[in-house]
Structure 1
Amino acid sequence: MPMQLSSLNVHPLVEQPADAPQLRPRLSDFIASHAEEILVAWDEFAATVSHGGNTLDAIALRDHACEILRTIAADLRRPQSPEQQDAKGKGLGPRASLPTAAEVHADFRMVAGFAVDAMITEYRALRASVLKLWARHGGGTRAEDLTDLTRFNEAIDQAIAESIGRYTNQTGTSAELFIGILGHDIRNPLGTILMSVAGLVRSGKLSETAAAPINNAATRIKAIIEQVVDFTRAQADGVMPVVRKPGDLAQQLAKVVEETQVRHPERMVRMEASGDFQGSWDEGRMGQLLSNLLGNALLHGSLWTEVTVQMWSTPSHVCVSVHNYGEPIPDEERELIFQPLQRGARYRTREGPQEAAGGLGLGLYICREIVLSHGGELTIESTRADGTTFTVSLPRQDAA
């Protein structure tokens, strides 16, 4: 429900003699005394915003505009030192413990289906309405008006920042919840499919050749879901979660190479290892790392040459490389391919079954996040003559 306009607390002006020149109010009092005129302009503009969401009535369009105006007017009246103004201009002002009117406005607009840019446009219109009306009534001509104008713009900017921050956080929370539910609910039927196929093969009702496409498709779906879940976790936490345990990395990765060869019997995958590979690793993440790198090499490498995994060590680090021949990755795309939901131009233009297997463009992003979470480094070299090599260098122990 919109707040009553009386809550804007118009400050009574000092009574002046009849023949004295009428003093113009400060901007804070002008906003209070002309609130309805400003809000009508808000209503008219909000009704024209194309947002692709639900159709809103007059009350819903205005929602928290009155409270936002009241907050701005109160902010303008509040004494402010130069240090406080400087801090506020840098976004370092004090924050309330409860949601502000601008944050609640963002909640309502998100539920109504407003895009964030449509919500920002409302604030731009509110700013313009206030300043146009104030200028029409003679505001902006005194020395103190410049201070009021600066603080008004700071207050509007703060409201925009609060709304955007709230909108972004709420959107991120909703996405994380959805992805979590999606990952949980899809894993169960996929597990049923894989167990059922295995049972049919054991009973002789289905040949291994006929079961292979079903297993590959289910495994691929499972991998995509895991990538999406991992991507969401990395975005939310800022780092890929890992649990390190002592072990021999070569033994752990050899199992991944063997499983990859079984899934791709028509291709040659070879592993060479020489050195000491003891250290502290997250075995599951390391398997995921190599599986993604091998999948990338098999998908984009030459069909007639082998994919090679090599491992070597130094006293402090263990290194792993995955090499394939094929079209080189252009220099300008070598950072792009590590970005989430992105792939290089030559990958985006591929057609046919291999393109479908390319997934969401999260594999290499997740690889880099796994390496970074272990305190390591992932690099790439790619030329037509020498092929493409992804090299991982990992410290044996957690630096922390």
Structure 2
Amino acid sequence: MKIPDLIADQLGPIVDEWVEFARTRVPLSHGFTHEELADHAKVLLQAIAADLRQTEDPDAKYDKSQGNAPGNSPDITRTARDHAAQRFRQGFPFDGLVSEFRALRASVSRRWARQIEQHPGRAHVEELTRLDEAMDQALSESASFYARKVDDSRNLLLGMLGHDLRTPLGVVQMSATTLLRTDTPDDAQTRAVARILTSSQRMAAMVKDILDFTQTTFGVTLPISPAPADMGVIARTIAAEITTVLPDARVEVSLEGDLGGRWDAGRIGQMISNLLANAAQHGDPSQPVHVRIRGDGDEVSVRVENKGTPISPEAQRTIFLPLRQAPAAQGELRAGSSGLGLGLYITREIAQAHGGSIEVASERDLTTFLVRLPRVRPAFAGRRPGPGA
């Protein structure tokens, strides 16, 4: 049996093995289905099998081995790039993507070795070499495309930061100039002071979000300083801040049970502020945002609900991943939001740093974000698995 025939004969088990390996490369909280993790495995294996069936002359073999055949096996190239794009959207780390191909190669090679162990020969070595070349091509195309996606995201983030900082900086400069021209403040100067305060708060939020994002993407857990705190007090304080900046917004807070625990009050406030800003930005402005805090046993939950257009199931899959959502337009910015599209990602990081979790549910006209936090942070909370975990 040749390798292409083996792939066709054992395609199902090979894909299943690919899926089980892929599960070890993402957190269990991602909850991907078998079909989502199988992704392009079947199509890629079929493209590799088709490539191996083709006859190659010596020159073509040499060019392929050196990577000098850019038009070689377009089906492998297209599928490998599609796979990289899908894994990027799913939040797979780069080393997880690379290790998938290593595992796939090993899966096919191991099965092939069992078939030929009784009668190995030169033809078998050449066939295995062609398999390695096809796998290398798929890996190279996939890794290169993934790296470009990362670069594009980084450039987008820097561009957004530069663009969005320019407006509040201009407001600060003009307002400061106005104040310098007179000694006694009038109504216009008071409004200028208010604009300075609002713009500086937005800039501070941008800087904080970008620093948090940079830190967590380097694999470092958000630093927290747990201390005795009351979740109800934090929630009411943040709700008051939001409604002060947005007088037309309505935030209704309900409290139930014992709401005491040990948390970083500043980070928890940031988390609730991000959730309220998200609800205010995307919810129906004619309906109130509900914040329901409930203490139950060793856990306190924070539930933020808003009416409005539901979030699609596909968007829910990536809603907590950084730079996967389009940033808000300038006119759509709400209190507590930096406008960089990092709020929900940082919210998840804050919850996980406290040993908690966050989930989203959205159907019909109701969207709910639910955060569950232990009253006391577990000793293992916030530890990030290594590349092979």
What TM-score do you get using the length of structure 1 for normalisation? 0.51
What do the CA deviations read for 1:93-147 (whole angstroms, capped 9, x no partner)? xxxxxxxxxxxxxxxxxxxxxxxxxxxxxxxxxxxxxxxxxxxxxxxxx931421
Is 1:228 aligned with 2:203? no
Query: How far did residue 221 of structure 1 move?
Result: 3.9
What do the CA deviations read for 1:21-51 (whole angstroms, capped 9, x no partner)? xxxxxxxxxxxxx99x95899697679xxxx
Indicate the residue corresponding to 1:204 in structure 2: 185
Match of 1:353 among 326, 331, 344: 331
CA distance in 2, matches of 1:305, 1:175: 34
Local SS of the residue matching 1:335: helix
Match of 1:307 among 273, 286, 289: 289
C-alpha spacing 1:282/1:172, structure 2 compared with 1 (3 Å): farther
Local SS of the residue matching 1:393: strand
Indicate the residue corresponding to 1:90 in structure 2: 106
Contact preservation (8 Å) 1:183, 1:229: no
What TM-score do you get using the length of structure 2 for normalisation? 0.52
Query: How far did residue 200 of structure 1 move?
Result: 4.5
Is 1:245 aligned with 2:226? yes
C-alpha spacing 1:311/1:168, structure 2 compared with 1 (3 Å): same
C-alpha spacing 1:197/1:252, structure 2 compared with 1 (3 Å): farther
Is 1:263 aligned with 2:245? yes
Is 1:363 aligned with 2:343? yes
Local SS of the residue matching 2:319: helix
CA distance in 2, matches of 1:87, 1:293: 39
Query: How far did residue 394 of structure 1 move?
Result: 0.6
Of 285-294 and 262-271, more deviation after overlay is shown by: 262-271
Match of 1:398 among 354, 377, 384: 377
Query: How far did residue 292 of structure 1 move?
Result: 0.8
CA distance in 1, matches of 2:103, 2:318: 37
Contact preservation (8 Å) 1:183, 1:226: no
Kindly provide the amino acid, as one letter, of the partner of residue 283 in structure 2: G
Local SS of the residue matching 1:391: strand
C-alpha spacing 1:319/1:326, structure 2 compared with 1 (3 Å): same
CA distance in 2, matches of 1:169, 1:332: 23
Structure 1 segment 72-221 matched on structure 2, within 5 A: 89-90=105-106, 143-151=121-129, 153-154=131-132, 157=135, 200=179, 204=185, 207-221=189-203
Which structure is higher in RCO with an 8 Å CA cutoff and minimum separation 6? Answer: 2
C-alpha spacing 1:313/1:173, structure 2 compared with 1 (3 Å): same
Contact preservation (8 Å) 2:289, 2:306: yes
Contact preservation (8 Å) 1:270, 1:307: yes
Local SS of the residue matching 2:223: coil
Indicate the residue corresponding to 1:276 in structure 2: 258
CA distance in 2, matches of 1:214, 1:251: 28
Kindly provide the amino acid, as one letter, of the partner of residue 247 in structure 1: P
Percent identity over the alignment? 26
Contact preservation (8 Å) 2:168, 2:199: no
Indicate the residue corresponding to 2:272 in structure 1: 290
Q: Which has the larger radius of gyration?
A: 1
CA distance in 1, matches of 2:205, 2:310: 26
What do the CA deviations read for 1:294-330 (whole angstroms, capped 9, x no partner)? 1011112222333232212012001112222333334
Kindly provide the amino acid, as one letter, of the partner of residue 132 in structure 2: E
Contact preservation (8 Å) 1:321, 1:391: yes
Query: How far did residue 364 of structure 1 move?
Result: 1.9
Structure 2 regions of 5+ residues with no counterpart?
A: 1-57, 72-101, 108-119, 381-389
Structure 1 regions of 5+ residues with no counterpart?
A: 1-33, 48-85, 92-141
Tell me the C-alpha RMSD between the 2 structures: 5.2
Contact preservation (8 Å) 1:246, 1:278: no
C-alpha spacing 1:342/1:169, structure 2 compared with 1 (3 Å): closer
Contact preservation (8 Å) 1:374, 1:398: yes
CA distance in 2, matches of 1:381, 1:155: 45
Kindly provide the amino acid, as one letter, of the partner of residue 357 in structure 2: E
